[in-house]
Amino acid sequence: MAATPTPLKLSALHHKHLELKAELLKVDGWMVPDHYPKGPEDEVKAAMTSLAISDRSQLGKLEIKGPGTDSLLQSISSSPGVPGAPGEVLLGPVLSDPALGAAFSPLYLCKLARDQALLVYSGTLPPGPNPMDVALSGRPVERAYATNVTSVYAGINLSGPNAFEILSRLTQVDVSPRSFPSGRCLQAGFANILALLVHVDGRYEGQAVPSYDLFFGREYAEYVWDSIMEAGDDEVGVFPMGISAYNRLHPDAAKTAGRTAGVNR
């Protein structure tokens, strides 16, 4: 067998980024838009005045499910909020299992149901025997199953004051900040497909920035991107945003991303 170069990971939105003439950089093996032609300053401004859309597909996703989910989470976490209640989003380093490796940095844990949780992280997991396998240490927990679903879900972030305006054009569920405040997640129909919506606000210069992550089947990525862009109009502009501007609006995410040290220009 001949030597092979390092495999390149492409988001399902890669060709959208090329079409929009994004400048790309490599994050954790993924090609990710650093910024689009107008530059990060304009992208931050768009997010502060209207709505910015970012590709977050490179985020790691680890699904834990089964009746033993809570026990498993508690066995590999020292965070007091774990395991959390359904619909809750627990922020920060909620899991600390050495078996997950040094390049693993949790961003938040979505408690999807009584016996199901999704951990969103930056970085990578140590490879298992099969592509989606995850090895966990700690005491063995019966009836809890972990699967690496990073490849399964594409991710899109919507940041800006008009986020609710656009979301309410594409989903029938009540996503108003009163009913769906920051720190909550829900699975709902979105643009006629099923998506996970996670509300975790960002912060810029002391001001809260409404921010929502959407996760959905990777094969729908271009369709969802286009649906969001087309839901915008003259009053509610939707602008693409690269990781550089995104990290300014989400300093916590940027911090953990930095820790994984996987960024190459």
Helix (H) or strand (E) holding 230: helix 221-231
CA 245/CA 209 separation, integer angstroms: 13
Q: List beta partners, residue 245.
A: none
Question: Per CB under 8 A, which region of 36-44, 75-83, 86-94, 163-171 contacts other proteins?
Answer: 163-171
CB 104, min distance to other proteins, A:
17
- Give the per-residue contact string, 30-49, with other proteins (x = CB under 8 A; - = no): x-------------------
Q: Are 165 and 255 in contact (CB under 8 A)?
A: no
Selected binder of other proteins within 71, 74, 147, 182 (CB under 8 A): 147
- β-strands 145-148, 60-65: how paired? antiparallel
- β-strands 263-264, 23-27: how paired? antiparallel
Tell me if residue 114 falls in helix, strand or coil: coil
Q: Which residues are CB-contacts of 138 (< 8 A; sequence separation ≥ 6)?
A: 72, 75, 76, 97, 99
Interaction between residue 179 and other proteins (CB under 8 A)? yes
Selected binder of other proteins within 219, 251, 258, 261 (CB under 8 A): 219
CA 82/CA 165 separation, integer angstroms: 32
CB 251, min distance to other proteins, A:
27
Note the residue count of the chain: 265
Count of alpha carbons within 13 angstroms of residue 33, beta-carbon side: 30
Q: Are 7 and 216 in contact (CB under 8 A)?
A: no
Nearest to 87 by CA among 121, 118, 120: 118
Other CB atoms within a 10 A radius of the CB of residue 30 amount to: 20
Interaction between residue 143 and other proteins (CB under 8 A)? yes
Number of residues that bind other proteins (CB under 8 A): 57
Interaction between residue 153 and other proteins (CB under 8 A)? yes
> Closest CB to other proteins among 51 and 221?
221
Selected binder of other proteins within 176, 208, 251, 261 (CB under 8 A): 176
Interaction between residue 71 and other proteins (CB under 8 A)? no
Interaction between residue 264 and other proteins (CB under 8 A)? no
CA 96/CA 32 separation, integer angstroms: 27
CB 23, min distance to other proteins, A:
19
Interaction between residue 19 and other proteins (CB under 8 A)? no
CB 225, min distance to other proteins, A:
11
- Give the per-residue contact string, 78-117, with other proteins (x = CB under 8 A; - = no): ----------------------------------------
Residue ranges in contact with other proteins by CB under 8 A: 1-2, 4-12, 14-15, 30, 57, 63, 65-67, 127, 129-132, 143, 145, 147, 149-154, 168-174, 176, 178-179, 191-193, 217-223, 227, 230-231, 233
